[in-house]
Amino acid sequence: MTAIALEVTHIAKQFGGLVALRDVSFRVREGEVMGLIGPNGAGKSTLFEIVSGNLTPSSGRVAFFGRDCTGDPAHLRRRAGLCRTFQKVRLFESMTVAENIAVSARQCVKPGLDWRVEVDAILRRLRLEPQADRMPAEITLADRKKVEIGRAVAGFCRVLMLDESLSGLTHEEAEEMIGEILALNHDTGITVIVVEHVLSVLAAMVKRLVVLNNATVIADGTPNEIAHDPVVIAAYLGTKASVLR
């Protein structure tokens, strides 16, 4: 019986009169690779920001390894091991790749360990060593995304939340990225939550999917179940993208 890494219970969020989320609940087990999908405007981003600590929910709670962290600021959640990337890659543009990773390594590394060693280990793991001393503006988008993942997991990471980490990549780059992420999960046991628009990119990657639509969870199951779930298909019919493509 594995631990529950992340538990979201009855989360609701209103912006003025607009309901962004209502009664969203799900659990993520430790070591799981889970996908969170939904059409545009379904509330994915709001949920993401609530879990990572940049928005406060109107009601409901977020628990991280059994501990309620609903009121904790973002940086404390990160130090506790709840890590994230951004939809549009956000690196520290005046720092080199290595320095970018060093920021979080210095913050989050376990006591007694050297952050420099951690930075080197991350660079090696993500095969970013040749880029270590380059500026973010000088490297490819795929590498920028890798740096962001490196920054997210450096030091101490138990749950990694990826916000559309595959969008904008070529097919090959996306394949490689999926490989890196799965290897990270396999080697270190980090729990991974992947947020994407559409299912197709995730089918090969995750064993479980949560589907968000109209501010709430409409389905929760394996990719195969989801792809044939009439409620999900109906939800995607009104939008330009289908579930699969």
Partner 1 sequence: MTAGATPEGTTERQAPLRGSFLYGVVAVALAAGLPFLPFANDYIIAVAVRMLIFIALGQAWNIVAGIGGLLSLGHGVFLGLGCYAAGILFNEYAVPPWLGIWAGGVLSVAVALVMGAMTLRMRGVFFALATIAVSLALDQLARHYVDLTGGDNGLALRFLGNSLWFMQSRTPTPFLYAGLTFVIAYYWITQWVLRTRLGSEMKAVRDDEAAAAAAGVAVFRTKLLGLLLSAVMTSFAGTLYMQSYQAIDPETAFGLSQAIQLQLPALIGGLGTSWGPIIGGTIMILLSESTNWGSTKLGIAGVDILVYGLLLLAVVMYAPKGIMGLFDRRTRGAWRP
- CB of residue 145 to partner 1, shortest distance in Å: 13
Reading the block at residue 51, the tokens are 């879990």
Beta-sheet pairing, 216-221 with 191-196: unpaired
Would you tell me the crossing angle of helices 97-108 and 141-153 to the nearest 10 degrees?
20
Binding mask 70-109 for partner 1 (x = CB under 8 A): ---xxx--xx---xxxx---xxxxxxx-xx--xxx-xxx-
Q: How far apart are CA 195 and CA 54, in angstroms?
A: 17
Tell me: does residue 149 bind partner 1 (CB under 8 A).
no
**Of 167, 187, 188, 191, which is closest to residue 177 (Cα–Cα)?**
167
Name which position in 21, 36, 62, 119 contacts partner 1 (CB under 8 A): 119
Name which position in 155, 216, 223, 243 contacts partner 1 (CB under 8 A): 155
Binding mask 2-41 for partner 1 (x = CB under 8 A): ----------------------------------------
Q: How far apart are CA 112 and CA 97, in angstroms?
A: 24
**Of 135, 133, 103, 136, which is closest to residue 118 (Cα–Cα)?**
103
Name which position in 2, 40, 54, 140 contacts partner 1 (CB under 8 A): 54
Rounded to a whole number, what is the distance in angstroms from the first to the last CA of the chain? 35
Q: How far apart are CA 216 and CA 57, in angstroms?
A: 14
- CB of residue 127 to partner 1, shortest distance in Å: 17
- CB of residue 104 to partner 1, shortest distance in Å: 4
The beta-carbon contacts of 22-28 under 8 Å, at least 24 apart in sequence, are: 22/215, 22/216, 23/60, 23/216, 24/60, 24/212, 24/215, 24/216, 24/217, 25/60, 25/217, 26/210, 26/217, 26/220, 28/4, 28/159, 28/191, 28/193
Of the pair 95, 203, the CB lying nearest partner 1 is at: 95
Of the pair 19, 135, the CB lying nearest partner 1 is at: 135
- CB of residue 140 to partner 1, shortest distance in Å: 18
Of the pair 127, 186, the CB lying nearest partner 1 is at: 127
Of the pair 84, 197, the CB lying nearest partner 1 is at: 84
Site for partner 1 in 169-188 (CB under 8 A): none
Which residues are at the interface with partner 1 (CB under 8 A)?
52-54, 73-75, 78-79, 83-86, 90-96, 98-99, 102-104, 106-108, 116, 119, 132-133, 135, 151-152, 155
